[in-house]
Amino acid sequence: MSQDLYTQIVNSPPGGFIAKRVGLPQPTTLDRYRPGQPLVSGTVLVGAAPGGRLAGAIAATLAAANAEVATTLDADLRSAAADAGLDASVFNPEAGGDRRFKALVFDATGISDSTELVELQKFFHPSVRKVQSSGRVVVLGTPPEDTKTPREHTAQRALEGFTRSLGKEIGKGSTVQLVYVAPGAEDLIGSTLRFFVSPKSAYVSGQVARVSAGLPVPADIDWEKPLAGKTALVTGASRGIGEAIIETLARDGANVVGLDIPQLGEDLKKVTDRLDGEAIELDITSDDAPKVIADFFKGRGVDIVVHNAGVTRDRTLAKMPEDRWQSVLDINLSSEERINDALLKAKAINAGGRIIGVSSMAGIAGNRGQTNYATSKAGVIGMVQSMAPVLAKSDITINAVAPGFIETQMTAAMPIAVREPGRRLNSMNQGGLPIDVAETIAWFASSGSTGLTGNVVRVCGQMLLGA
Ligand SMILES: NC(=O)c1ccc[n+]([C@@H]2O[C@H](COP(=O)([O-])OP(=O)(O)OC[C@H]3O[C@@H](n4cnc5c(N)ncnc54)[C@H](O)[C@@H]3O)[C@@H](O)[C@H]2O)c1
């Protein structure tokens, strides 16, 4: 699926002319990643509140990515950039000029009192209008629960209101995120900062990600192929979002195994053959499914498990028979728990492993006619939160994505009165593409993402519903 028809029309010269005249929303054509292109096509401006602790880690990440960098006049930032070997230019807002930036990165970890939140205004007021389309804003802070004083906790918690609001006003297909970095996890921010400054995060905005202490990031990581040598299982891989996920993990170097129901065996095989992968034809709710999957990986091990298979069987609760309820809960949630348990019992998930769930905005905000679906998808969030501390003992991470409106066969089949608001009521004024969900999963899966666990990140263009 590509861009929707409306977006194509308003981005054509005559369509754009008419849309402007009559005041229709004009969704920006979003930049999306193509292999081989630079991480950021433009300059990254870095700023910091005094006393921050991430200047070195930010500079090291951008230097390793060969990014073009500018900093404010802040002395600590200038020396961190020099130490990282960056030939960073200086941005002096007083000097005027017409400089443009593709990304703004701000280290807010130095903010320890609400009176210091004005540092956000000081940095972003002169720079925000200079952000190019499909621009990126990343604010980095300290998790409120890891702060030293109530005042610092308050100030760090306040960052969330700032980033979510800026996401709603920045426009031009630009995104804004908050990344909370736990003390001691500074060296683990690389994969996350890379994802959020790059076009890979095209449809992710207004999100809060948490980087916590974890295994060290491999020194020899190849950021073009961060999954080289890894084995990934993707359920529901024959079409839609699952197909995009398995393609993206293969692009990033993984050996892929796709799974789908036997009725879609041919479609599945076409996908896995194309990617030099393997196929498992299996209904994940069947009694023997956990054992079949665990036996498949026993001995050889699996590194990445993506629970993507899912269904909707909508009815209002008053009209919901038990079998309709139960089948959705079983496919979308209970079978995932059984498969995880079987893989863990067989010790088939390698250390450094990743489990990734696919929740949904319906699981966060709720949706009329979807009590069964939303229950299952909120349960996926519960699974992430409850399993993260348990799996940490085996150096396995667990995270989930929560897609909003994604252009697939499922959403194409919606009645127009449901489809159009779903597609437009977000900061990007358009639906996302399966690749946007896949890129977010690839970020969680990356060998660099050792510090990410217990996260649920929405891929929804900052949909207006939900938290
Ligand atoms: N499309 C969206 O806008 C959207 C939004 C939020 C969440 N999601 C979630 O994303 C995931 C993928 O959705 P999609 O839009 O690509 O749907 P889809 O129907 O195109 O694909 C789902 C796949 O899962 C497989 N599957 C279903 N039941 C299975 C079972 N019992 N055993 C094995 N495989 C099974 C299907 O055969 C299919 O290939 C789902 O979990 C869905 O709930 C989608």
- 180, 211, 242: which is the final residue of a domain? 211
The pLDDT value recorded for residue 406 is: 95
**Six-digit token string for 273:** 């053959």
Check pocket membership of 285 for ligand 1, CB cut-off 6 A: yes
Residue 327 counted as domain residue: yes
Residue 368 counted as domain residue: yes
Specify the ligand 1 atom closest to the Cα of 332: 41
**Of the candidates 97, 1, 8, the residue with the CA atom closest to the CA atom of residue 45:** 97
Expressed in angstroms and rounded, the spacing between residue 268 Cα and the centre of ligand 1 is 13
Check pocket membership of 236 for ligand 1, CB cut-off 6 A: yes
Residue 390 counted as domain residue: yes
Check pocket membership of 284 for ligand 1, CB cut-off 6 A: yes
If you compute the radius of gyration of the chain from its CA atoms, what whole number of angstroms results? 22
Expressed in angstroms and rounded, the spacing between residue 294 Cα and the centre of ligand 1 is 22
Specify the ligand 1 atom closest to the Cα of 437: 10
The pLDDT value recorded for residue 3 is: 64
Is residue 387 domain-shared with residue 288, that is, in the same domain?
A: yes
- 179, 211, 243: which is the final residue of a domain? 211
Is residue 321 domain-shared with residue 207, that is, in the same domain?
A: no
Q: Which positions are catalytic?
A: 373
Is residue 172 domain-shared with residue 139, that is, in the same domain?
A: yes
The DSSP secondary-structure symbol of 216 reads: P
Is residue 56 domain-shared with residue 150, that is, in the same domain?
A: yes
Residue 375 counted as domain residue: yes
Is residue 280 domain-shared with residue 331, that is, in the same domain?
A: yes
Please give the Cα distance from 258 to 398 (Å, whole number): 19
Is residue 251 domain-shared with residue 298, that is, in the same domain?
A: yes
Positions of the chain with pLDDT lower than 50, given as ranges: 1
Is residue 169 domain-shared with residue 281, that is, in the same domain?
A: no
Please give the Cα distance from 61 to 78 (Å, whole number): 15
Please give the Cα distance from 153 to 147 (Å, whole number): 6
Please give the Cα distance from 307 to 333 (Å, whole number): 9
The pLDDT value recorded for residue 430 is: 95
Check pocket membership of 408 for ligand 1, CB cut-off 6 A: yes
Domain count, the chain: 2
The pLDDT value recorded for residue 68 is: 97
Check pocket membership of 178 for ligand 1, CB cut-off 6 A: no
Please give the Cα distance from 372 to 317 (Å, whole number): 8
Is residue 159 domain-shared with residue 48, that is, in the same domain?
A: yes
Please give the Cα distance from 305 to 356 (Å, whole number): 6
What are 415-457's pLDDT values in tens digits?
888 888 889 999 999 999 999 999 999 999 999 999 999 999 9
Q: By three-state DSSP, how is residue 279 classified? A: strand
Expressed in angstroms and rounded, the spacing between residue 381 Cα and the centre of ligand 1 is 17
Q: How does DSSP assign 300-339, residue by residue? A: T-EEEEEE-------B-GGG--HHHHHHHHIIIIIHHHHH
Residue 376 counted as domain residue: yes
Residue 187 counted as domain residue: yes
Check pocket membership of 239 for ligand 1, CB cut-off 6 A: yes
Specify the ligand 1 atom closest to the Cα of 359: 7
Is residue 53 domain-shared with residue 201, that is, in the same domain?
A: yes
Residue 14 counted as domain residue: no
Is residue 300 domain-shared with residue 205, that is, in the same domain?
A: no
The residue segments making up the domain with residue 292 are: 231-459
Which CATH number characterizes residue 409's domain? Answer: 3.40.50.720
Q: Which long-range contacts (CB under 8 A, 24 or more apart) does 412-416 make?
A: 412/1
Residue 360 counted as domain residue: yes
**Six-digit token string for 222:** 């190849």
Is residue 343 domain-shared with residue 264, that is, in the same domain?
A: yes
Please tell me the residue having the least CA distance from ligand 1 atom 39: 236
Amino acid letter at 448? G
The DSSP secondary-structure symbol of 220 reads: T
The pLDDT value recorded for residue 96 is: 73
Is residue 106 domain-shared with residue 169, that is, in the same domain?
A: yes
